[in-house]
Amino acid sequence: MPRVSFSAHLQRHVPTPELEVEAASLREALGKACMDRPRLRGYILDDQGRLRRHVAVYVNGYPVKDRVTLSDRVGPGDEIAVFQALSGG
């Protein structure tokens, strides 16, 4: 099963442990991770279900390709990392 983890900065707003979810796509994995945490969904997805601009998601160390429909495939053993992107100088 894919493993979903959330950055410490994001967890300051919504405490979320690392999770293993049964999923075949990024959309399915994030949906299951947010199932019991509706506030988390609001932090990472907009009202159309797209990744928010300030959120970065990586699968096995590579940025996701589809930020709109979240169709990137995931499989057993994949690592999904969700970060709140930070900027500034």
| 71 closest CA partner among 29, 14, 10 | 29
Each residue of 67-83: pLDDT tens digit? 999 999 999 999 999 99
With beta carbons less than 8 A apart as the criterion, state whether 86 and 60 touch: no
Each residue of 26-52: pLDDT tens digit? 999 999 999 988 889 999 999 999 999
Q: Hey, is 19 helix, strand or coil?
A: strand
| 79 closest CA partner among 34, 8, 26, 39 | 26
Domains and CATH numbers, the chain: 3-84 (3.10.20.30)
With beta carbons less than 8 A apart as the criterion, state whether 3 and 78 touch: yes
Evaluate if residue 88 carries a pLDDT over 70.
Answer: no
CA 18, distance to chain mean position in Å, is 11
Average pLDDT value for the chain: 92
* Band of residue 89 on the pLDDT scale cut at 50, 70, 90: low
Q: Residue 3 has what pLDDT?
A: 97
The predicted model gives 10-31 an average pLDDT of: 92
Of residues 3 and 88, more confidently modeled:
3
